[in-house]
Structure 1
């Protein structure tokens, strides 16, 4: 390991802050805790005995003279009772890694890095590691906290060298494997797109230019299924989607997924599912995973608790929370193992993440995507209720919401008359003026307040609450959105300060009727962003209190 500057791309434009450099004969505190790691952590053990580690539930032996790297958020623990009291020596280094995000002549901004793509387990002789460790912590009396002064920079350089070394090993060892795995992924994509065709293993191997036996072995190692098992699961889950969402006969479903004999299909379906297709249609007690926070809210409103779900702050639901992509362009980082262990009957999502769900977990359960932009909240609720047999609960919520909306609508009219409202949301990419969906639902649909004339024209071609969501505007265009009240949704104090300054100093904003009349209200965007029943119930009450400060309904 040399001490030159890092060469690997991953380490370019990064800073390291060392939190702790320590050794002990006692088990490190973070190994005895169930809490997720707060920092990147390097562990090295001498004479650990017959000891096992558990990282996020996965077992691995704590090997002699082996270096381990763990990333923030991992849950790592010693998983062998025999390790307690064993005469071992532990060395650990904890650190944070930051990457340059923005740079100008006057300032630099860094973002914390939470991953590490290099080798996470590598044998290193004790002599070699001790030399590195002692260089990072030169004095025996030095505190456990990270080094300071000149020692700090020397320690950082040593740690950079170590990380660069681990990353170079990864590059050399995995370049060929990455190419092979890319080929495997392309064959899986082919199966997902052509599952109804006659697909054989030799054809798939030929497609990706691998030997059939090697391809089959690699597929099994990667997916924990044979190619034939994977294809069968794809077909059966597609059959479930068709049975649940389409008015098709069993014969039509069989033909659509590649089976000419409906009786053979029915036997395969029952063997896989435990139910004949006709009985599956009557099933309503699904074990559900929700990949979209709004649909998690719908399930909660209907009295259902998903096995795991994407949620949002404030939703009173106890379930396993999934860190899932919010938009189609966001990366998919959830481990497939989570879905394998949960064994869901149904995966529910918005249509904008359907492609990623189909790619990663469609062989594990049917993926039911419900259109997001082309349907409003009421339609979403009705569709999910139909899938889960909760039609009565959906109807009751809609009736309660409409009744309360009418009460507040009449009271609001008596207090402020026929008023109009403009809803401006501040985002990092600019300003947005909202229509009848999302934050606009309770103001324009429930309370039937008038939108700015330009918003009314833009939403007119569509059914209420569908398609049109928001339109971008520059700071100079606020005059096109005149209204009696102006609501400005912000995510933090800095955004509010900026918008308050606009209202005081920018001519176009100062001329806005709501600004002149002192009818500008700032609201929290995270609280008003969710567009789903539980959130909308809260938003309706808050909307009335915003416009009628005493909150009295009369």
Structure 2
């Protein structure tokens, strides 16, 4: 038995008396990723079974039964399942109101340790069933269950001893980040966390998804990368600065973590290249080049952010709709890159003029050339022609292998790519997905589909006329679109589509399917093989184009 913490312990004296909660929606995810998206409501994440990774803004959390997580309006959030691990997750959106004036905040946010043996999972099951019920009375019952859930959550927050242990654990993690160059031991870190070494090892892995030693290695390698770009120091000195007395041991650790030797990495990073759009970043990676500056954000460029946030020194704004180009120009002016690469169709005239004052600019003619043309053009400018030809040869091999597998599986069945944005359905809206599906892989489009209809908004009735055997579905991850999709997926018109009736609708994410680059095209093929042929086929395909 555990004791219920008091309101004073929760540091919420009287605040709950003035707050009103209203359930907005309940989702149940089973072994499914949630593409990074922005929320306009409060969102509660509660694990029914298994583990996974949750990202809220720039912070990563370990999803597990012993904790719930709350994201606030305006934050971005995304979920990744772990290879070989099951994850059942409830995602509960709710609104929060306050009596009178004052800022509206939930009593808790971020990660909240809880007692998993409480009634919270039962209440989520009940709430999920009621929320999807046709009866208004049952949906009202769902609101009641939600209020009971919030009560159970606050009642079952763990403060002692778990909260103190996790506070100490976070202190030890900060110590690793500040003193990575010292000879740190588990015993020393456990003393800082004020728990036993055995419990420390278990709790660190459980909380952060990796061991303390692996985290120390990650911090050291990331710091070494920064020194290689900035300092110009010798490899031996860099090894010593990040905590390795043996230069050769450091080189082995670095190569194991990064996939290339420190010498090759330093040679790769000598030139300060600025990628001015995610598409350019996808081209540079195919040339085995990591830029000094590029657009990175856990929502807008989630894949690149996760893999290369430590390698790319200057993170530019990745959200062009915010018109952040002046901030990007200012950041680049401070960094003094050697060269800037951009698309011609995305540059404001003044923006281009300002860029050219900073460094030479390679402008890719976007509408007149393919990604292959762009890759070769960049390769010529960057003295990487052989790397471009090697990558293209590997891509052709990947296409050939994938085409054989897919044609054998499909046997002539038609494939249609559909994107939903706001309250519109669009057919194959971007060049990348069209090129991969119909040009490279030569998959059969539905009869009656002509190129004039690409990127055209069409009603569901037109999708029925095309009568595709299989549909690849991209749903934009923003609130208006998700509300429309929630109503569309239960409509008779949608349910009557051939692909829906045969359970052959496959969700595809905006990244990589809406990006037009060499790297994204290779990832699209891997994703398609995973969806249609299984994980083993995708793993085999990805070997022909290894990640940098």
Q: Which has the larger radius of gyration?
A: 1
Pairwise same-fold verdict (TM > 0.5)? no
TM-score interval w.r.t. the shorter chain?
A: 0.3 to 0.5
TM-score of the two chains, using structure 2 as the length reference: 0.44
